[in-house]
Amino acid sequence: MKLGYFVSHGSPTILVENVKWKSTLSSIGKEIKKEVNPDVVVVSSPHFFTFSDVHYVEVSEKLECIQDYYGFPDELYKFCYSAENDVELARKIAELSHGKFVEDKSWGLDHGAWIPLYYMFPEGGVKVVTVSINEDSPEEHYELGEVIAKAVEALGRRAVFLATGSPTHRLDLFYFKLKPRPSKFDHLLVDLLKEGKFEEVLKAKELYPKEWKEAMPEGELNTMYMLMGFVKPKRAEVIDFDVPWTGVSMLATAFYG
């Protein structure tokens, strides 16, 4: 069985705020260790973005913590999380992609990756591979997820795919001090996932253009599409959903292949 999770990382302020999402992430981490006990977690964050027609896969021995947020209270910069890379798997991904994934050593774990890992695997001990998204189509990201799955299978790894981002990502709304509430797209996406309508999820921007534009999904949901290619889901379980901040929705979903 292939397994993957889409989890929202939220605002960096989650590190010091009393929000339930931290316990949600912690519970998911415990479940992953219990059910899979993975050798490696493959992570796709919307903040690891390449402005080209290729994707990066990091091949440094250690993936260092990147605090890629600015203007926040000093206490937020006391938190960090780094991880050992599975370099062999990273290089196998690049090899099998035939040029779609390019080996790179310039990135590490941005906050979209390390904040969930910080709560899911607080004791560390799990290797991580991180891959970028770009402006390619949902279908192309799906195909890259298939490549990652082939690399995992070729090396016999026990792997879980972790995709992060927010279905609604309207940071502009925060400044209007509106009451936090789900967007129409949030409701649509949650229903599609619960009903197992994955083809519609893949084509959501095309099928629901108005709702999509109003929500402005983080990273165009390309992290989720890569996850879906990795897992080829037969079903999905929505574990949690919340809107703790105006304009930012939080979703945690397990995908089972």
pLDDT, one tens digit for every residue, the chain (257 residues): 899 999 999 889 999 998 899 999 999 999 999 989 999 999 999 999 999 999 999 999 999 999 998 888 899 899 999 999 999 999 999 999 999 999 999 999 999 999 999 999 999 999 999 999 999 999 999 999 999 999 999 999 999 999 999 999 998 887 777 788 999 999 999 999 999 999 999 999 999 999 999 999 999 999 999 999 999 999 999 999 999 888 999 999 999 99
CATH class for domain 3-256? alpha beta
Cα torsion angle, 48, 53, 55, 60, sign: negative
How far apart, in whole angstroms, are the C-alpha atoms of residue 14 and residue 75? Answer: 12
pTM, two decimal places: 0.96
Tell me the backbone φ, ψ of residue 36, rounded to 5 degrees: -120, -35
Contacts (Cβ under 8 Å, ≥6 apart) of 184 = 211, 214, 215
